[in-house]
Structure 1
Amino acid sequence: MTPSIRSERKYLEILRILAESHEPLGAKRLSEKMAERGFVLSDRAVQYYLQYLDEMGFTAKVGNRGRLLTEAGIAESKRALVEEQIGFIISKLERLAFRSTFDPVTGKGTVAYNLSLVREEDLPGVTAAFDEVASAGYGFLNTYRVVETDPRIPDGHIGIMTACSITLDGVLQKMGIPTRLEYAGRIAVDENGSASFLDLIGYRGTSVDPLHLFVSAGLTSINRLVTAGAGVALANVRAVPSAARSRVEEAVGLMEERGFNFPARRGIGEFNLPEHPYRLFIAAFTGMNMVGNAVEKGYTVKTEIGAGTTPFEYLVGATGSR
């Protein structure tokens, strides 16, 4: 088995599947998952790749249940998939937009969500930080849900679900409006509610979610925003045909009635964004503002942006802000 195997598309996809899995996977299950992604491989062929991964120390057997990536395997997956990751973030979010079914007219359907993990002992402080953002109206949705029973939540931790703003893209698409998520950015809001972007990162040229970068780099002042009325929050920007403006205004207005939040003037085309003769930009606050406020207060919060979809009622039906 030669080192060239490490550049093969099938090898990379097996690495990706193992990296995404929260449980051991055997050759049969890996073969099934590969088929779901368009790769037809027999169990024996999968074993060929697994043998190489074992020899390199990238995988470890877990009894008869299958294999998990080792620490070396996790490092290999990050190295091997870095180029593959360019475009992966936006592709994942676009899939969620397509899968969401929320209808702002009826208030029914599914919305995309983010899943944050916090230590059990930190939960009161973290939820207090989330509540500050929700009360001030700077989350994408002014509610969140505390989750305790989910296989993705490790021992000693609690999960918190917040609405993901890619839900807006799903709403617009289902109205027949072509939508393209373009940027994540830092948005400065003053005491009068006026807003302008300080920085933008394009979703289509990055291997990590830009919102994570802004939070981890300490480039927000969300706590100052929610307590003093002026500060720097996070928002993302999508583009639609300018001819669809009236329908977009209708959609955003309906979503505001359901508790969703947008920057000044409903987030439509009124910012210091690149001008385009035929495209209209729409900005929406993100659920990561809740996370950012908690991080600014010193809490450790690990968040998967675009973790899945859930019924809208499940989020808005939580007690209080939760």
Structure 2
Amino acid sequence: MIKTEHKYIEILRILKDHQEPMGAKRLSELLAERGYVMTDRAVQYYLRYLDTRGFTEKVGNQGRILTPSGIMETDRALVDDRIGFVISKLERLAFRSTFDPSTSTGDVAYNLTIVPNEVLDPVSLIFDKVRDAGCSFFSGYSFVDRDPRVPPGHTGILTLCSITMDGVFQHHGIPVKVAYGGTLQIENKNPIRFMNIIGYQGSTIDPLQLFIGAGLTAITRYCDTNSGLLLANVRQIPAGAEERSRSLISEMQDCGFRFPLTMGKGRIFNLLTDPHRISLVSFSGMNSIGSVFEAGYKFHTEIGAGTIPFSKVGDR
């Protein structure tokens, strides 16, 4: 068993989340985003140790990748420590989101999907289809190819992450709880009920990513027939913040955001929520990605990949 030190585990997690080889400099940057400030030299030391354990291997001058043993070790190491990892990452990302809807300026959180160039055109058409069907969190997306995470022969697609909403609310003094992720049944554009739902608190994996991988969505069918199973999130805010939140929502909608699907207290569809808090249900920014998965294309997605100026998102 590997040393139970968080820095080793974080390095393994980062390498598992990225398909391409990664060097000490990039690892140092990503570790800093997760709260582990380390010099490039220190990261090199950790990598050499992981090499000796057979968990990583060097790929020329490109950096390290996980070995099969490293993948297994990452999956089983520090399960207790990983509990709550997803929500903690989202909370950090919300804090770093500085978007101001009144001026359409500041940084927003985004998801990064990396696709091979040979399938970029059909994948782009799927993104367009989901956007035009109105089941995305935001009205546009962007391409990026000059990013160290995007390997040669690939293009990155930036979609706006719904955690941006949390950042806006928090910076205006409204505490937000990301409560649930689920699949929402829609019939003739009318939301009916949640078919599957998982709480974010205590989760070791993003619930929506789990639903996509398990084939529990029907996003493409919705785009074609107005009926299907879409990815949605449930957030909760104090009841006393309803008036202020509606004002912020209106400003964000003017900027191209598409939420909420509904908001209220008590029962939301078939979900019984806290009667003392307002629940907001919104379509996830992952619906485009889920539809690409349904079509069978290969890709890699990093949820909550970072923050970027709002002006660089949504040119398509």
Q: TM-score range by the shorter chain?
A: 0.7 to 0.9
* Corresponding residue of 2:284: 286
- Is 1:237 matched with 2:239? no
Candidates 251, 256, 264, aligned match of 1:254: 251
Q: Deviations over 1:158-198 (max 9, x none)?
A: 11000000011111111101111111011122225344322
Aligned-partner SS, 1:90: helix
Identity of aligned residues (%): 47
Bigger strand share: 2
Cα distance change on mapping 1:264 and 1:51 into 2, 3 Å: closer
Aligned-partner SS, 2:229: strand
Alignment RMSD? 3.1
C-alpha separation in 1, matches of 2:42 and 2:248: 51
Cα distance change on mapping 1:249 and 1:158 into 2, 3 Å: same
**Alignment TM-score, normalising by the size of structure 1:** 0.84
Question: Is the CA contact (8 Å cut-off) linking 1:291 and 1:301 kept in structure 2?
Answer: no
Aligned-partner SS, 1:277: coil
C-alpha separation in 1, matches of 2:42 and 2:206: 36
Candidates 79, 94, 97, aligned match of 2:94: 97
C-alpha separation in 2, matches of 1:249 and 1:45: 46
Aligned-partner SS, 1:206: coil
| Aligned-pair CA distance for 1:71 | 3.8
C-alpha separation in 2, matches of 1:65 and 1:186: 39
Cα distance change on mapping 1:188 and 1:51 into 2, 3 Å: closer
Aligned-partner SS, 1:284: strand
Q: Deviations over 1:11-45 (max 9, x none)?
A: 4455456657853339xx97xx68x946899x799
Aligned residue type for 1:180: K
Candidates 253, 267, 274, aligned match of 1:276: 274
Aligned residue type for 1:229: N
Ranges in structure 2 where 5+ consecutive residues have no aligned partner = none
Q: How does 1:131-150 map to 2 (within 5 A)?
A: 131-150=128-147
Q: How does 1:144-163 map to 2 (within 5 A)?
A: 144-163=141-160
* Corresponding residue of 1:302: 300
**Alignment TM-score, normalising by the size of structure 2:** 0.85
Question: Is the CA contact (8 Å cut-off) linking 2:7 and 2:36 kept in structure 1?
Answer: no
Cα distance change on mapping 1:39 and 1:236 into 2, 3 Å: same
Candidates 309, 312, 315, aligned match of 1:311: 309
| Aligned-pair CA distance for 1:139 | 0.5
C-alpha separation in 2, matches of 1:198 and 1:64: 47
Aligned-partner SS, 1:6: coil
| Aligned-pair CA distance for 1:68 | 5.3
Aligned-partner SS, 1:214: helix
Aligned residue type for 2:282: A
Which of structures 1 and 2 has the bigger CA Rg? 1
* Corresponding residue of 2:167: 170
Aligned residue type for 1:307: A
Cα distance change on mapping 1:192 and 1:128 into 2, 3 Å: closer
Q: How does 1:26-37 map to 2 (within 5 A)?
A: 37=35
Aligned-partner SS, 1:205: coil
Cα distance change on mapping 1:52 and 1:126 into 2, 3 Å: closer
Question: Is the CA contact (8 Å cut-off) linking 1:58 and 1:74 kept in structure 2?
Answer: yes
Question: Is the CA contact (8 Å cut-off) linking 1:201 and 1:210 kept in structure 2?
Answer: yes
| Aligned-pair CA distance for 1:213 | 1.1
Q: How does 1:5-16 map to 2 (within 5 A)?
A: 6-9=3-6, 11-13=8-10, 15-16=12-13
Aligned residue type for 1:134: R
C-alpha separation in 1, matches of 2:145 and 2:178: 31
Cα distance change on mapping 1:302 and 1:64 into 2, 3 Å: closer
Question: Is the CA contact (8 Å cut-off) linking 2:181 and 2:207 kept in structure 1?
Answer: yes
Candidates 42, 45, 50, aligned match of 1:53: 50
| Aligned-pair CA distance for 1:211 | 0.8
Question: Is the CA contact (8 Å cut-off) linking 1:16 and 1:81 kept in structure 2?
Answer: no
Question: Is the CA contact (8 Å cut-off) linking 1:188 and 1:195 kept in structure 2?
Answer: yes
Aligned residue type for 1:197: F
Cα distance change on mapping 1:268 and 1:153 into 2, 3 Å: farther
Bigger helix share: 1
Aligned residue type for 2:22: E
| Aligned-pair CA distance for 1:209 | 1.0
Cα distance change on mapping 1:226 and 1:254 into 2, 3 Å: same
Aligned-partner SS, 1:227: helix
* Corresponding residue of 1:77: 74
C-alpha separation in 1, matches of 2:62 and 2:269: 53
